[in-house]
Structures are given as C-alpha cells and as structure tokens.
Amino acid sequence: MKKFTMMRATLCIWILSAVVCVGSGHHHEGHDQDTALNSSADSVSLVTSANREFAYRMYKKLAAHTESQGKNIFFSPASLSIALAALSVGARGETHRQLFSGLGFNSSLLTQTVVDQSFRTLLQRANKTSQEDISEGTAVFVDNCFKLQPEFLDVLKQSYFADGFEVDFTKSTDSADTINKYVEEKTNGKIDKLVESLDPSTVMYLISYIYYKGKWATPFDPELTKEDTFTVDESTKVPVQMMNMERQFDTYYDQAINTSVLHLPFSNSYSMLLLLPDDMVTLENVICPSHVTKWLKGMKSRTYDVYIPKFSIKTSYSLKDMLIEMGMTDMFGDRADLSGISEEQELLVSEVVHKATLDIDEAGATATAVTGMVIIKRLMIIYPVLKFNRPFMVLITEHTTENILFMGKIINPNI
C-alpha cells in the first residue's frame, strides 16, 4: 500500500461497445416477471429520458471534436451512461453532483438508489433476450492490495450486473492480458485488445460493455449487392458494395430539416434508423429526442428502391475533455471525491475511453428465413429511390422506450 500514499491512485474507465447488425440466431422472449425490483415505472422513464438527452449532447460533443477531421462517429450512449452511473455510486459531494448533472439526472426524484434500481431494471430487460442478441453489463478489475468499500461492489453487482476480479497491477502484462481476454469474450471478439499498457498508479479498472447482434426482419439478397460510389464530399468519392432491396419501407421526410428517415426493423424489439439529410450540419444542430418520436409516429409505408452500403467500421475516443466540457470536472483532478469506492486512498479518474464497432451486411437471417423473400420487379412501375450514397446518420433504438443503444454518423464507409 505504501506505493500509493504520496499520490492519488488512478481509476480507469473503459466503455466498450460492439454492435453487429448481421447474422442469424434465435430470439427468445423472456416471459418471466421481474422480481425484486423496487424502482417504479416513472423512475425508469425519468432515467431513460435523461439517457436520451445525454445521447444527443454527447453526440454533439463528438461531432464538434471530429468536425475538422471528417471522421465517422459511432458510439453507445447506453453503455456510456451505464459506466458513468456506476462510477457515481462511489462519488460523493460535488463530484457526485457533477456526474448526476452531466448525465441529466436533475429531477429531485432521482436519488442514487433510484437511479441504481432503474438501471437494474433496464439491464434486466435487455439481458432477457438471447445472449446472441444483446448483452450489457460492467466489470471491475481491482488491485489485490486495494480495499474497496463493500457497499460499492455490492451495488455494482446488484444494479449494474458487474463482474468483479482481483488482479496484480504490478504485473502489467498479466493484468492487461486478463482484461483483454474478458473484453474479447464479452464483445464476441469484436474488440480483442483494449489495454496496451497500464499506468503504475492504477488500482482499479471499471469497464462497461454492450454487445448487440440483430438480424434484419427482412434480409437483403446478396445477389443484388453491387459495387457503387459513395460521395464523401465534393472532392472525394469512394467505391462501396451497395446492398439493394425493393419493397415497402416505413419512411418519413422531415421537410423542416430536409432529411429522409428510413426505418429498418430487426427481428426483435430493436430498430435501425438511417437519416439522410441534404445538409448534415443542419441535422446535427437540431436533432433531439422529440425528432425521433415525431419520425417514428409519423412513418408512412410505401414502396422504395433502397440502397445501403455494406461496411465495417471501428471507432475509439478519449472522452475526458468532452466530459469536462459537460461539467464533469472534479473526478479527473485533485478535487475528486470517490470516497464511496475506498476510504483508504484518494482516487481520481485518469481517463474515460470509448471503443465501438459497427458491421452491416446482407446476412441478416438464416437460409430458411431468406426462403420466401421473393422480390418481383414489375416492368412498367418505377419506384422512388432512396440511396444512402453520401454521409448519413444511424441510430439503433429500442421500440418501447426509444432508448438509444448506438448512435453515429457515417462519413466514409471505407474507413
């Protein structure tokens, strides 16, 4: 313990998000009743609403920080909210207030206990589906010479589905291997190497992960996928493999912001929304939860000839500066009060890192599901084309709560 007495020990937070919008797999509905849940539906609704607002504020921060770089954006607001809420369990005083305020938990009804119980309800609902569909949770890797407050770990296990592990951070290679193997398992190999090196003052790693695998309710036919051109900007065009389907789609055209919205349901309770604006900056400046609600309620079904690029992207962000800009300052410096994690040492958060992956292709169903998907082209009818061949936004949401699992912007499918 002596090695930490003259300095604040380091707490690292990693938020891992892997989404695979491909593949088959059986979906199992959970019919058992939730038990031992004390949070009310109103509390869960308040937390979910705050999570949605946080998603758009976080997106705008990411967009501002990547605007000049012309990069894709993809992240999981749900995973980030879970990680920061889990950290708030151990925060006290002004540090706690900043975390709650930054997450949008401003209602007097949202105490720490209520927030914890609400996340327990949300995670329990999500994990009811087959593990092949969605898996969410957290993990805590603790140095074997570091004593946690028992209450902290108990709440994380009960409300945030946390796995707890003891490691020896003085053995940096072994510790990194342990964390990386856990990450690889939880993301089904999508993120296989998280930790490159370890800060010698590290005493704890807090990890939040989410893995989602959805098969299209109506899969694309690989035979119709052809090479096409994607316009990144006025001076850059790149080749892409463009998937194609002609059928009835639920769509919405928002005239106020000149944006086409395409609804692509998965074969469970989740959907993908693709947003194709005339001007991306206009869309990014105004988008908020009420827009999504309006689009989903106002959807009209009609036949379109739809083209969507097939692609795989990976993103990685250091969120420290952005979270500071959002008011969560103290946890990164000498004013950090994380005494709910441990009273023996002064702690601070050294970094918050978010990694995410997104893969989209045609293989959204088994061969049996594809059988019967007959697309007949009528020679004398030309259907309107909706072609995602320029920058577009993507959201993956849950139907009932409109909770945003993932959100992003595809500038270049080839990066």
DSSP state of 90: T
Query: What is d(CA 42, CA 34) in angstroms, rounded to the nearest whole number?
Result: 16
Contact 93, 337 (CB under 8 A): yes
pLDDT at 342: 83
Confidence of residue 382 (pLDDT cuts 50, 70, 90): low
Residue 97 has pLDDT above 90, yes or no: yes
Residue 365 has pLDDT above 50, yes or no: no
Sign of the CA dihedral with 187 first, then 120, 84, and 61 last: positive
Q: What does the pLDDT look like over 52-96, one tens digit per residue?
A: 999 999 999 998 887 656 789 989 898 889 989 999 999 999 999
pLDDT at 210: 83
β-bridge mates for residue 139, sequence order: 163, 207
Please spell the DSSP secondary structure of 160-223, one letter per residue.
Answer: S-EEEEEE-TTSHHHHHHHHHHHHHHHTTTSS----S---TTEEEEEEEEEEEE--BSSPPPGG
Q: Please report, rounded to a whole number, the percentage of residues in the chain having pLDDT higher than 90.
A: 37
164 vs 373, higher pLDDT: 164
* Mean confidence (pLDDT) of the chain: 80
DSSP state of 266: B
**Parts of the chain belonging to CATH 2.30.39.10:** 222-309+369-410
pLDDT at 202: 78
pLDDT at 69: 65
Sign of the CA dihedral with 57 first, then 332, 47, and 105 last: negative
pLDDT at 130: 56
Tokens of 228: 């096409």
For residue 191, what is the enclosing H or E element?
none
For residue 387, what is the enclosing H or E element?
strand 385-387
Q: What does the pLDDT look like over 125-176, one tens digit per residue?
A: 877 765 457 778 888 888 888 888 899 999 999 999 999 999 888 888 888 8
**Parts of the chain belonging to CATH 3.30.497.10:** 9-214+313-358
Query: What is d(CA 162, CA 156) in angstroms, rounded to the nearest whole number?
Result: 5
Confidence of residue 402 (pLDDT cuts 50, 70, 90): confident
Mark out the alpha helices in 160-279 (DSSP H runs): 172-186
Q: Which fold has domain 222-309+369-410?
A: Alpha-1-antitrypsin; domain 1 (2.30.39)
18 vs 394, higher pLDDT: 394
The superfamily CATH assigns to domain 9-214+313-358 is: Antithrombin, subunit I, domain 2 (3.30.497.10)
Q: Identify which of 191, 212, 185 has the alpha carbon closest to the alpha carbon of residue 355.
A: 191
pLDDT at 186: 83
Q: Please report, rounded to a whole number, the percentage of residues in the chain having pLDDT higher than 70.
A: 83
Residue 217 has pLDDT above 70, yes or no: yes
Tokens of 200: 């010698």
pLDDT at 294: 92
Confidence of residue 17 (pLDDT cuts 50, 70, 90): low
The one-letter code for the residue type at 222 is P
Query: What is d(CA 289, CA 58) in angstroms, rounded to the nearest whole number?
Result: 13
Query: What is d(CA 402, CA 46) in angstroms, rounded to the nearest whole number?
Result: 13
Q: What does the pLDDT look like over 235-251, one tens digit per residue?
A: 899 999 999 999 999 99
Contact 348, 333 (CB under 8 A): yes
Q: What does the pLDDT look like over 174-190, one tens digit per residue?
A: 888 888 888 888 887 87
Query: What is d(CA 16, CA 75) in angstroms, rounded to the nearest whole number?
Result: 9
The model's pTM: 0.85
